Structure 1
Amino acid sequence: MPEIKVVLPKYLQIAADLRDRILRGDLAPGAEVDSERKIAADWKVARPTATKALEALRREGLIESRQGSGTRVRDVRAHRRAAHRYHRYRAQGAQYAPDESMEILRTGIVAAPDHVAEALGLEQPAEAMTRRRLISRVNLGPAEIATSWWPASLADNAPRLLEPVSLGGIGSVRYVESVTGRIASYAKDRVAARLATSDEADLLGLPASGAAVLVYRHSVFGTDDQIIEYAESVYPPDMWSVEQEYPIEA
């Protein structure tokens, strides 16, 4: 019989909020984390609950406490994914964190690869708009190659996607929403590992051959369940990417 799922305990909800802020870059390495007293007051919970939330993050290696300097964020080697950028835009009004920089590598209208055409619902042969970026992080270097795709028919309504300059921090999904009136409702990620191409290896500073990368294929859908944007992000190895917290029930 189906059952209503149990809500996560309060301390895990608090830990999840802090974890998200750390991973999306709102709390940079070395930044001081709110005290147990402040967390308890902000979340309206007992202080032991705040203590358990911080302890959960310590066990994950996200924060550390030092005598005389409080609790601070550790230098975490983790991929920043589309979900982190959406959350950061909602909370901060910008999708890139202060420790990130973005370089436009390529824009244009090109022949759509088969898997891109399939994702966008285009019949081959088809053309698609593309926008490729290299995202780097302080003390880490090149951290992500992000390539977004749209039907070429969108070019007249969204000409800024073809300009090799920043969209001003709003991101391509928000820009497409603003010029089309469509609203992004949900997204789907598919993840796979593969060997880097020679071009990817060069951009990410990896060995010329035999280097593994993690690839996220990211589809954004509107309220009409039709695709708004298809994107691929390529990440270097030796960084963790997927995290999930859940109760284990008997």
Structure 2
Amino acid sequence: MPKIEETRPKYLQIAHHLRDQILRGDLRPGGEVPSERQLAADWGVSRPTTARALETLRHQGLVEKRQGSGTYVRGPSAHRRPHDLHGRPKPPARITPPGEHAVMTSTGRSEAPEHVAKSLNLTAGARAVHRQWVTRNDSGPIALSTSWFAPDVGDRAPKLLDPDRIPDGPLRYVEHMTGRQGSHAEDRMCARPATGNEASGLELEPGSAVLIVHHLVYDLTDHPLEFVEAAYPPHRWAFEQGYPLG
């Protein structure tokens, strides 16, 4: 069991250790996660600390608590995850899958919409940095995505304002320039009518239904680092999930 480092929050160290076990497959979907009591004994910390660690994993969607039973690893829920398009690429870096390409449509500083400002912990009216692009393949647009960063991140990572493609992707570039490491992300999804900009970028009729994905990346201290809003046409997304009955 790793030793607690005094320079980082204890609950985050425990949460990250368990998260890595889940991602490596050491803790498999459906498997039980060590209890608060067991984690407290293993790590030499208090029960409230381990409770917060498990709550962090639940917030990230990695585990679920079953009343009167325990905490269990959640199984995969989507055929194609937002992380596949918006996560940090692994070397050799590739931002889009084979057969797809991204076309930048807008970069700059602009007033962050209310939901973006709230997600990035910005004050109302703050001028955040944005990068917008359309992902396409031979059959047409796949997604219209806008990546948002806090103003101070734009000051330290000036290439975010350039219209040119960033070879390793915006997130890896921001990590390099700011020293802040992306730790985990959460996704929220809903369906709504397309805005004028979304309909135009996705080549849809005005008011067409689109799937909206909000992808929020947190750093190692649980502070928001990047917010991505992506719109998908109805024929470009499908969910698949298997689960036992009874």
Identify the TM-score tier after normalising by the shorter chain.
0.5 to 0.7
Unaligned regions of 5+ residues in structure 2, if any?
Answer: 1-67
* CA apart distance, 1:238: 2.1
Unaligned regions of 5+ residues in structure 1, if any?
Answer: 9-15, 24-79
Within-5 A mapping of 1:14-93: 81-85=81-85, 89-90=89-90, 92-93=92-93
Equivalent residue letter for 2:236: M
Two-structure CA RMSD over aligned residues (Å): 2.6
The residue aligned with 2:32 is none
The residue aligned with 1:189 is 187
Equivalent residue letter for 1:206: L
Call closer, same or farther: CA 1:155–1:5 in 2, change over 3 Å: closer
Equivalent of residue 200 in structure 1, options 194, 198, 201: 198
Call closer, same or farther: CA 1:160–1:185 in 2, change over 3 Å: same
Tell me the secondary structure at the aligned position of residue 228 of structure 1. strand
**Identity value in percent:** 37
Call closer, same or farther: CA 1:120–1:4 in 2, change over 3 Å: closer
Within-5 A mapping of 1:93-242: 93-138=93-138, 140-168=139-167, 170-207=168-205, 209-242=206-239
* Cα separation, 1, equivalents of 2:131 and 2:175: 17
Tell me the secondary structure at the aligned position of residue 221 of structure 2. coil
* Alignment check: 8 A CA contact 2:88 2:169 kept: no
Call closer, same or farther: CA 1:173–1:241 in 2, change over 3 Å: farther
The residue aligned with 1:44 is none
The residue aligned with 2:69 is 2
Equivalent residue letter for 2:130: T
* Cα separation, 2, equivalents of 1:223 and 1:113: 25
* Cα separation, 1, equivalents of 2:182 and 2:103: 25
Query: TM (normalized to structure 2)?
Result: 0.65
* Alignment check: 8 A CA contact 1:103 1:135 kept: yes
